[in-house]
Structure 1
Amino acid sequence: MTTTRAASRTSDFRTDVLLGLSLPQKRLPSKYFYDAVGSRLFDQITKLDEYYLTRTELAIMRANAAAMAARCGSKCLLIELGAGSLVKARLLLDRLDRPAGFVPVDVSGDHLRAAANELAAEYPALAVHPTVADFTRPFEVPRVPAARPVIYFPGSTIGNFDPSEADTLLRHIARLAGPAGGLLLGLDLRKAPAVLGPAYNDAQGVTAAFNRNLLVRINRELGGDFDPAAFHHTAFYNLDQSRMEMHLVSATDQQVRVGDRVFPFRAGESIHTENSYKYDLANFTRRAAGCGLRVEETWTDADRYFAVLFLSVVG
């Protein structure tokens, strides 16, 4: 990453943090969870007993990866958004027919490059192009002649976006894939709050550490003076919005400085750090159609906790 790009990312981070902390309901974008420490903590979360999402999605993929790879087609340029540790991508790469390349995209540069280097060593014939970028914004994809772009967006990360933002992102993905392209998407489905709650409130406190690490990052990169111990993690299911919400709740009346700005907190006041929307398949299919994407095939687990969908770009 060049110095200019790094400075630009810090500027975006500062702008988003100052704006979010100025809102009546303070809010921080969840994409900033994923610095090197946050990425490692999230990897730990995915292995927790309570966190059903990753193991359920992996089970669906292991059972259906050949069918998914067939949908991707020959000479697929696989572009993974929010790539993380690239565990799920391996299941596809093992089965793709003559893949044209793999483009893992993530905001956490060090974590991404380490994972991409490891994967490239395992697949020496595969062209791997790690791309450090915020996938919600335009970024450059390598040009590979005669390749079919397929966007891989696992983990139900789409659920972290409010509905209007998710629709904007789906339209962006459709443009990125192009008329002959496709989208392989992980989607967390609606289910009982008794299942959802523990997944975001694990007994070991890893999710709490992941949530508080956002404050540590603000201190380090933006000159903040948050005391992470003065905020406690909470997560709950918002039934009206069909989403899990994560918050950091101030334990006391306090003031926090970020750079030259001061933000007051009342005891019990929260910073809303993440949403995780849970979807109804029929409703999502209709919304995707309005964004230029047609659902071609759906794979789920026996409990219908999670789904993986293949969508084609319409027109």
Structure 2
Amino acid sequence: MTLAWVNQHLDVGERIVKTETLHGGMTAEMRRLTIGTEDAVTRHLVLRSFVDPFYMENAKDWLSREAGALALLAGTGVLAPELVAVDPTAAHCEYPSLLMTHLAGRSVLDNEGVETRVPLLARQLVAIHALRPAERPQEFRTLTTAESVVVPKGGDATAWAAAINVIRKPAPPYEGRFLHRDFQPGNVLFDVPPSSPTRARITGVVDWSQPSWGPADLDVAHCCTNLALLHDPAWGLRFAEAYEEAGGALATAASERLYWLVRDALSCSEEVELWAQAYQDAGRTDLTTSILERRLDTYVTGLVNALG
């Protein structure tokens, strides 16, 4: 069924000649399709399918939102895949699916060169937040509560108690921005010349399944958490600085910044094992659950001490 659906959206004379599984995603299966012609000309498409029953109940919403975001991003300065087709309810495919163009480049999660990539990530996020869509996406949602936070074994109880108390308070006022809502190194593609890592450049941003309207701090906080766990807790706060250096505006009060940074970090506490598995699938086999728990504890403690 899925093959027939994809074939309907190919040009005359084209056919699928190869499929490859793409690793690193937590919610959906990703496949790169090599499309060929009789003249041996090839191009690539990406098929995103929700096959896990746990995530499938959200597939219609996520795929519809991604299709809308890709249509919005076409023609902007933000490099993103082009939408080819979407079947959010599995009316034609075996599973809810989205077909899009393939972008060159790869996600880079290695420690080497992080000091070069962080400013690039910051500038890219500033460009995303500068978009002013004619129709706003839905308001952001956060599901973590004080009761759902999971304190890591051996974590600083005092710091975690203080952090949990932060999110018991109402969200601070904010100026709305167009948000990606999962902006992090795994969703940004780079071209990194092997002979010159310092000349790395971004080739695209992927996974637009949850575009939202909300505070820039929230997108920044999510990338901060990822950098803290991928590389070192110090890179968390460094990214917030880089975002401002790139022209981005964050909350002025330390207490307001702390709210968004802590809220994202605490949301990770519930899924550390899933994050570790995703990082390992993407090649960072050194990042075990216990290592991420220690880094998360250090990061949360550092946030409370620096901004609390």
TM-score by length of structure 1 reads 0.27
TM-score by length of structure 2 reads 0.27
